Amino acid sequence: MIYKTLIIGVLCGYQFDVRFLETSSLTLRDDYMPHTNSTPLAFCRFRSLFMLASGLLSSVAAHAIDEEFISYAQNEIAIVNVTLIDGTGTASKLNQTVIIKSGRIEALGSSADISPSASTHIIDGAGKTLIPGLVMMHEHMFYPTGNAHYTEMLYSFPRLYLAGGATTIRTAGTTAPYGDLNLRDAINHGKTMGPDIDVTAPYLNGPGLPILKIKSLRDAQDAKNMMQYWDQEGVTSYKAYMHIHQDELAQVVSSAHQRSRKVTGHLCSITYKEAAELGIDNLEHGFFAATDFVKDKKKDECPGSDLHQSLVDLDINAPEVDALIALLVSKNVALTSTLTVFETYTQGRPKAYPLALEALIPQVREQYETQWQKIAEQENATWPIVFKKMMQLEKKFVEAGGMLMAGTDPTGYGGVIAGFSNQRQIELLVEAGFAIEQAIKIATLNGATFLERDNNVGSIEAGKQADLVLINGELINDTSAIRNMAVVFKNGVGYNVSKIVQRTKSVVGLH
């Protein structure tokens, strides 16, 4: 059997290289569109034929590189007697059966009503919870490695995002666009494992940021030129950044919308109100980056530390807060909650999960632990006040009809670690007052809807791609069960979470 697998792997590797070259002659657009209605592209066609010929009918072919991490690759799988949270926000259902066939969700319903056929591989879901694969909207491939430097984790992060339940991500800004683009294509072509990726163009920022890898825009025309270039290279979304000016953002929004692309922003020079009126589609970091409440804010200028103080002083029930929420809702501006990164600045909060710390190389782990301790010992800290208020504002925004999505933002000083933080973000949404079903919807269907992939991913519905997370434990009774993901299915292929985590230790910070 081992011998046979080896031969298949070699064959597949060879055929794959051929196919990879072939696809590069396709038009770019075909190449970088998310692979919606396809059977898993991660599989080698020729290998499928070979396996068919070998009589391995029950096996779905997966690329050799991932084989050691795959728990389930059968063509027909039934998860039975499982508690289901389907991503639509409706109440969880007990004793459900979900049938996966050829990478898609074939059927689902009460276990009493659905009987899998004899050839189906059965997974007992008793005592477990099934949720959709997470659709996370602020998942960079870089990580802070010290002194305002960010280093790409193109090896560890895609694995850890997948192991943390994320099957679709948006990068929300990049410092290595070709790295993200090539990674996306490699995943789409089955050369490596990871989530499906919506690649955001390099940051569209004005002057003033002390990060060497980020360009400063000269003017609106420069923004237009830059977008045109990255559009040709295959990005699928844009992000305006802190120091951008209003005339540049206006250009960015108009250029993106002409291409039917969306723009998000992490802003400080421009208020949320101004950005909404300029037609932005999405704002990052909940209300943490809203400079709307800074007194005497100057046009096109970041207010520095006055932003934090304005949030410390903010009355979240003031009429101007309600007015801003109403404006964002009326303009369909979605917000991305990234409570995970702000938690790392907030006193009295737990450290990153122990398993997450084990993923770090010693140098960045020490950097994180030292900084965490410093923050913990700070006197008269105001972050706990702001953190709580911002949680309440995210809840208020949703109650007012706003579209909230989830992301993690692995920046700060290193406490936000791919995958583990995706789970933490869900815990924090529940802490903010969302029912677990709502929190899951925020982290799945809402993102999929925004990305216009909701006909294919984002919820557990018949016909959709089988992107699913099987969790040990009853998530409805214990939110921390989210940390106990057992299997992450992408395109119907089940990846062994603990194996990936075990094999991705002491690497974050390195590659």
Binding site for Zn ion (CB under 5 A): 409
Please, which residue, 64 or 172, has the CB nearer to Zn ion?
A: 172
Please, which residue, 73 or 172, has the CB nearer to Zn ion?
A: 172
Rounded CA-CA distance 244/351 in Å is: 33
Please, which residue, 196 or 409, has the CB nearer to Zn ion?
A: 409
Angle between helices 246-258 and 220-233 (to 10 degrees): 30
Burial class of residue 59, CB neighbours in 10 A (0-12, 13-18, 19+):
middle
CB of 206 to Zn ion, least distance (A): 17
Give the nearest residue (CB) to Zn ion. Answer: 409
DSSP 238-266: EEE-TT--HHHHHHHHHHHHHTT-EEEE-
Please, which residue, 143 or 397, has the CB nearer to Zn ion?
A: 143
Chain centre distance of CA 126: 28
CB of 200 to Zn ion, least distance (A): 10
Beta partners for residue 282, in sequence order = 264, 334
Please, which residue, 116 or 410, has the CB nearer to Zn ion?
A: 410
Ranges of beta strands (E only) in 316-416 are 334-337, 404-406
CB of 212 to Zn ion, least distance (A): 17
Which residue in this structure is represented by tokens 């400079």? 291
DSSP 352: S
CB under 8 A, 24+ apart: contacts of 94-97: 96/125, 96/130
CB of 423 to Zn ion, least distance (A): 18
Gyration radius of the chain over CA positions: 23
Rounded CA-CA distance 383/285 in Å is: 15
Please, which residue, 16 or 143, has the CB nearer to Zn ion?
A: 143
CB of 190 to Zn ion, least distance (A): 28
CB of 137 to Zn ion, least distance (A): 10
Please, which residue, 248 or 409, has the CB nearer to Zn ion?
A: 409
Please, which residue, 135 or 471, has the CB nearer to Zn ion?
A: 135
CB of 241 to Zn ion, least distance (A): 9
The H-assigned helical ranges of 208-334 are 220-233, 246-258, 272-277, 306-313, 319-330
CB of 203 to Zn ion, least distance (A): 9
Question: Helix and strand tally (H, E) in the chain?
Answer: 18, 19
Rounded CA-CA distance 418/415 in Å is: 10
